[in-house]
Structures are given as C-alpha cells and as structure tokens.
Amino acid sequence: MATNFDARLASYSSPLLSLFRIIAGLLFALHGSQKLFDWPVAAPGPIAVGDWPL
C-alpha cells in the first residue's frame, strides 16, 4: 500500500520542489532588500510575544 502511495506522489515531487525553491528565494530576497534598502519598512520596535498584529 505504501508503494502505491509513493508512486502517486512521485509525479508531484518536481513541481512541489520548484514551488518550495521559489518561495524560499523570495523570502531571501525580501530579507536582503529589507537589510540593504530598508524596504519593506521594518517594525518600529520590538514586538512582544502574544501581541496582536495591529
């Protein structure tokens, strides 16, 4: 039964890996742009644990 499930998921491995790489790349790019260019604007100060996002 597990081999049948693995065979069905094997066709999705390449697109999912590509999607994961794209998302990871965008996160790295956003982090770098925030450090280098201050864009997007960072939070005004430290955020306490449990605070509401507004």
Mind listing the pLDDT tens digit of every residue in the chain (54 residues)? 677 888 888 889 999 999 999 999 999 999 999 889 988 887 788 888 888 876
Q: Are 30 and 40 in contact (CB under 8 A)?
A: yes
The tokens describing 27, both together, are 């996160």
| Per-residue pLDDT, 51 | 85
CB proximity list for 33: less than 8 A, separation 6 or greater: 39, 40
